[in-house]
Chains A and B, each alone.
Chain A
Amino acid sequence: MSAAWWLVALVGVATIAIKGAGPVLLGGKPLPPRIGRIIGLLAPALLAALVAISTFGGDRALVLDERAAGVGAAAVAVALKAPPLLVVVVAAVVTAATRTLV
C-alpha cells in the first residue's frame, strides 16, 4: 500500500473515532453546568483561532499577505450585516484583486 493510501486509512479511522467518541459515550445526557458553560465558549475560542491562523498563518511563520486585505473587507461586510455568501465572495474578490494589482 502506498503512503497516500496509508494516509487515507489512518487519518480516516482516527477522525471517525475522534468525532464519534463524545456522542457515543455521552449521548443524550446533559453536561454538568460548569462543563456546559466551558464547552459553550469553545465555539468563539476555536472559530477566532481558525480565523487568525487561516488569515496570518504560513509554514511555521506569521505572514501578512493579500489574504489580510480580503478578510478585512469581509469584516466590513459582516459589520454591514451582509449575508454569508456575499462575505465569502467579497473576501475572495478583494484578495484576488489585491494579488493582481499589487
Chain B
Amino acid sequence: MDEPGGSFSFAHGARKVAPFSIAVFGFGMSFGVLARPTMGTVAPIVMSLTTFAGSAQFASASILGTGGTLAAAVIAAILLNARYGPIGVAVAPSLIGPWWSRFLRAQLVVDETWALSADGRGGHDPRLIVGAGLVLYAAWVTGTAAGVLFGDLLGDPARLGLDAAFPALFLALLVPNLDRPQARVAAILGAAIALALTPIAPAGVPIVAAGLACLVGWRRS
C-alpha cells in the first residue's frame, strides 16, 4: 500500500467512529424491529449484510410493510442512495490501487465514514474509511440481528428516543463541516430544499434535490 497516512489510521478510524457506532447499532435494531413482520427473520439481516445503507433499507422496508408495491420500495431505496453517486466521486481521488480494491472499499463509504474521513482540503483518508467503515458495518449488522431476534423484549424503539439519535448523529457530523461561509450557505440551502420538498415529493427526492445546494461552489468563495 502506497497511500498517504500511516498504518495507525485504521485504528484511528475505528476509534473516531466508535461513538457513532452505538447510534448505528440502535438504528440497526430499529430496522430489525420494523422489518421483521413483513420480511421475516433472515431477509433483514441479509439486507444489512449486502446493502449497508440504513435510510434506504428503512424506507423500502416500511413501504413494503405498509402495503406498497415492490417497485415503489426499490425506487425509494435507489433515490435515497443516489447521493452515494456524487459521494463516490468525492472519495474517488483518494482511493488508489486496483479496481477491485477501490470497488470493495467504496462499499464501506456511508455518510458517517465519508464525513469523518474528510481532511478539510477535499481529500479523504482511505485507511480511515476502511477502519471506521468496518466498525460501523459490524454495528449495523449486529444491530439488525438484535432487533430481529430480541425486538419483542425491547418494545417500540421510539419509546427509547432512538429516532432522535439519528438526526443528532448527523448534527454531530455536520458541525465540523461548517468552517467556511460557503459551507454554511450550502447547509442552510440544503436543509431548506429538503424541508420544502418533504410534503410534496416521494421519499428520497428531497435528499437528492438538497445535494444540488453544493452548486453554490460554482463560484470561488
Are A and B interaction partners? yes
Check if B14 is an interface residue, CB within 8 A of chain A.
no
Rounded to whole Å, the gap between the CB of B215 and the closest CB of chain A is: 6
Residues of B within 8 A of A18 (CB): 78, 81-82, 84-85, 88
Residue from A54, A84, A94, A99 having most chain B Cβ neighbours under 10 A: A84
Near A by CB (< 8 A), chain B positions 151-193 give 158-175, 177-178, 182-184, 186-191, 193
Near A by CB (< 8 A), chain B positions 193-215 give 193-195, 198-200, 202, 206-207, 210-215
Q: Are B162 and A43 in contact (CB under 8 A)?
A: no
Near A by CB (< 8 A), chain B positions 89-118 give 89-93, 95-97, 99, 102-103, 105-107, 109, 111, 114-115, 118
Check if B6 is an interface residue, CB within 8 A of chain A.
no
Q: Are B70 and A3 in contact (CB under 8 A)?
A: yes
Residues of A within 8 A of B218 (CB): 34, 37-38
CA distance A30 to B89 in the complex (A): 10
Rounded to whole Å, the gap between the CB of A69 and the closest CB of chain B is: 8
Q: Are A84 and B92 in contact (CB under 8 A)?
A: no
Residues of B within 8 A of A50 (CB): 55, 111, 167, 170, 194, 207
Q: Are B161 and A24 in contact (CB under 8 A)?
A: no
Residue from A36, A50, A71 having most chain B Cβ neighbours under 10 A: A50
Residues of A within 8 A of B88 (CB): 18-23
CA distance A18 to B206 in the complex (A): 18
Q: Are B74 and A88 in contact (CB under 8 A)?
A: no
A97 and chain B: residue at smallest CB distance = B161
B53 and chain A: residue at smallest CB distance = A15
Check if B47 is an interface residue, CB within 8 A of chain A.
yes
Residues of A within 8 A of B161 (CB): 66, 70, 91-97, 99
**Which secondary structure dominates chain B's binding surface?**
helix
Near A by CB (< 8 A), chain B positions 18-65 give 18-20, 22-23, 26, 38-40, 43, 46-47, 50-53, 55-57, 60-61, 64
Residues of B within 8 A of A28 (CB): 92-93, 95-97, 102
Residues of A within 8 A of B92 (CB): 22-23, 25-29, 31
Check if A61 is an interface residue, CB within 8 A of chain B.
yes
Residues of B within 8 A of A19 (CB): 53, 81, 84, 88, 106-107, 109
Near B by CB (< 8 A), chain A positions 62-102 give 62, 66-67, 70-71, 74-75, 78, 83-85, 87-88, 90-97, 99
A-binding residues in B (CB < 8 A): 18-20, 22-23, 26, 38-40, 43, 46-47, 50-53, 55-57, 60-61, 64, 70, 73-74, 77-78, 81-93, 95-97, 99, 102-103, 105-107, 109, 111, 114-115, 118, 122, 158-175, 177-178, 182-184, 186-191, 193-195, 198-200, 202, 206-207, 210-218, 220
Extra pairs beyond A11-B73, A42-B86, A49-B206 (7, CB < 8 Å): A8-B47, A14-B77, A23-B91, A24-B106, A41-B182, A45-B214, A51-B191
6 nearest A-B pairs in the assembled complex, by CB-CB distance: A22-B88, A91-B168, A70-B164, A49-B210, A45-B190, A85-B19
